[in-house]
């Protein structure tokens, strides 16, 4: 006798996360403090102090369930983005928002469209509903929006767009996204995943929440895991018109965001100084890494996020060599990019330590 799971579940390739520091320390007998992790696009500054204070206060109330509706955090988001509270969905990370959209909208027989080399969770969220994936070939490692529009068929209910994209770091300008939204049928929901929005230069940023007025089929997804430095807490949010927000709320776990996370996120949202430091540090580190890669004659994809995709050839060997040096980066063979590594921007001294080890491992 064996357990019978749906074929669409047994076919799923589980998500491959960046190697945890504790695991590398165990496996290679290294001290955790000596390890540099540039593998998961985390904020090298760690958590904002404003969030730490809010979390400490929230711990006293952990005997109680969280506010299922997350009133305080929604109020803060509402104020910050100028959207009504009934347009906000809170998520256990923005990963949760992607899954809520999939669970609310997809069933076997439906399809979701996303790009080759786009975020791995789009495939997972699609597959776990039994829907079909329509994977559109990338253009220069980024989204080919014309081809994605053409790929939408009668079964399609959902489109995922990461902007900037992970793992390639590419970016699509506002006017191209707006033209895409205008061309998509109104019964096809577009998830615009802006996990790295805060790292964009001010000139490239655009207020996608404004598009909710024009597009009842739009979900904008944001996270506290990257520039806000709260990856371990798991908080993100989605912005969409009330009809769509209501659908996602129906498939949501009642207490999907814990109370410590709710408090920390509300505090971090108002911490402009921290965001500014995160942004500035990233600009500097990104330029440094890209400049070094260019200097080494390595191909890389110019990035709009807090990471760079660089072509190294035998990526497994280079990854392994870096691990031995106590540095964790991210192999992306599971994305169909077996010759590349994705390197997250770290603190200046972490970037330098990485570059030194990297040059050594590559024999340059
Ligand atoms: C990191 C990332 C997220 C954020 O995930 P969380 O669940 O919010 O931690 C979402 N989308 C993309 C493209 C990402 O790279």
Picking from 170, 107, 111, 106, the residue whose alpha carbon sits closest to that of residue 138 is: 170
Count CA atoms closer than 13 A to 172's CA, side-chain side: 27
Q: The tokens of 319 are what?
A: 């990854």
pLDDT averaged over the chain?
97
| Residue 212 confidence (pLDDT) | 97
**Ligand 1 mean position to 153 CA, how many Å?**
27
How many helices (H) and strands (E) in the chain?
13, 13
Q: Residue 9 above 80 pLDDT?
A: yes
Decide: 225 in ligand 1 pocket, CB within 6 A: yes
The tens digit of pLDDT for each residue in 167-199 reads 999 999 999 999 999 999 999 999 999 999 999
**Ligand 1 mean position to 94 CA, how many Å?**
6
The whole-number average pLDDT for the span 225-246 is 98
Query: What's the CA gap between 303 and 286, in Å, rounded?
Result: 8
Is 7-46+273-362's fold the same as 49-271's?
no
Task: Parse the chain into domains and list their residue ranges.
Answer: 7-46+273-362, 49-271
Decide: 99 in ligand 1 pocket, CB within 6 A: no
**Which band of pLDDT confidence, cut at 50, 70 and 90, is reported for residue 16?**
confident
**Ligand 1 mean position to 362 CA, how many Å?**
30
**Which band of pLDDT confidence, cut at 50, 70 and 90, is reported for residue 1?**
low
The tens digit of pLDDT for each residue in 241-295 reads 999 999 999 999 999 999 999 999 999 999 999 999 999 999 999 999 999 999 9
Picking from 229, 226, 262, 275, the residue whose alpha carbon sits closest to that of residue 57 is: 262
| Residue 364 confidence (pLDDT) | 84
| φ/ψ of residue 24, rounded to 5 | -60, -40
**Ligand 1 mean position to 327 CA, how many Å?**
22
| Residue 99 confidence (pLDDT) | 98
State the Cα angle at 94 between 187 and 268, rounded to 5°: 130
**Ligand 1 mean position to 219 CA, how many Å?**
15
CATH of 7-46+273-362, one of 3.50.50.60, 3.90.1150.10, 3.30.365.10, 3.30.1490.190: 3.90.1150.10
Decide: 282 in ligand 1 pocket, CB within 6 A: no
Domain 49-271 CATH assignment equals 3.40.140.10 = no
For the stretch 317-326, contacts whose Cβ atoms lie closer than 8 Å and that sit 24 or more positions apart, written own/partner, are 317/361, 318/358, 318/361, 318/362, 321/357, 321/360, 321/361, 322/354, 322/357, 322/358, 322/361, 323/19, 323/24, 323/28, 324/28, 325/357, 325/360, 325/361, 326/24, 326/28, 326/30, 326/34, 326/35, 326/36
Q: Residue 70 above 80 pLDDT?
A: yes
Using CB atoms within 10 Å of the CB of residue 133, give its burial: 0 to 12 exposed, 13 to 18 middle, 19+ buried.
middle
The whole-number average pLDDT for the span 48-62 is 96
Decide: 331 in ligand 1 pocket, CB within 6 A: no
Decide: 118 in ligand 1 pocket, CB within 6 A: no
**Which band of pLDDT confidence, cut at 50, 70 and 90, is reported for residue 2?**
confident
Residues 6+ apart with CB under 8 A from 92: 234, 235, 236, 253, 256, 257, 258, 261
């Amino acid at each position: 006798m064996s357990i019978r799971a749906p074929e669409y579940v047994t076919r799923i390739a589980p998500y491959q996360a960046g190697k945890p520091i504790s695991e590398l320390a165990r496996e290679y007998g290294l001290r955790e403090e000596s390890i540099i992790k540039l593998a998961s696009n985390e904020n090298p500054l760690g958590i904002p102090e404003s969030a730490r204070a809010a979390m400490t206060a929230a711990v006293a109330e952990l005997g109680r369930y969280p506010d299922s509706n997350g009133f305080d955090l929604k109020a803060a988001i509402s104020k910050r983005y100028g959207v009504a509270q009934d347009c906000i969905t809170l998520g256990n990370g923005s990963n949760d928002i992607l899954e809520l959209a999939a669970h609310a909208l997809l069933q076997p027989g439906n399809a979701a469209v996303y790009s080759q080399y786009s975020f791995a969770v789009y495939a997972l969220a699609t597959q776990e509903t039994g829907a079909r994936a329509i994977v559109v070939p990338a253009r220069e490692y980024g989204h080919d929006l014309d081809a994605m529009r053409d790929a939408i068929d009668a079964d399609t209910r959902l489109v995922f767009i990461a902007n900037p994209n992970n793992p390639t770091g590419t970016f699509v300008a506002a006017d191209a996204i707006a033209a895409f939204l205008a061309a998509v049928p109104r019964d096809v929901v577009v998830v615009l995943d802006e996990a790295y929005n805060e790292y964009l230069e001010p000139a490239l940023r655009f207020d996608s929440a404004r598009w909710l007025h024009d597009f009842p089929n739009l979900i904008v997804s944001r996270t506290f895991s990257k520039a806000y430095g709260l990856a371990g807490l798991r908080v993100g949010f989605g912005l969409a018109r009330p009809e769509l927000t209501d659908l996602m709320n129906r498939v949501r776990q009642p207490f999907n965001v814990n109370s410590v996370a709710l408090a920390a996120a509300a505090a971090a949202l108002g911490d402009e100084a921290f965001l500014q430091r995160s942004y500035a540090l990233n600009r500097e580190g990104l330029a440094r890494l890209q400049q070094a890669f260019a200097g080494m004659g390595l191909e890389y994809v110019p990035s709009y996020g807090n990471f760079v995709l660089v072509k190294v050839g035998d990526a497994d060997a280079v990854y392994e060599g870096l691990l031995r040096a106590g540095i964790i980066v991210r192999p992306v063979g599971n994305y169909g990019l077996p010759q590349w590594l994705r390197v997250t921007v770290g603190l200046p001294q972490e970037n330098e330590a990485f570059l030194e080890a990297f040059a050594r491992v590559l024999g340059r």
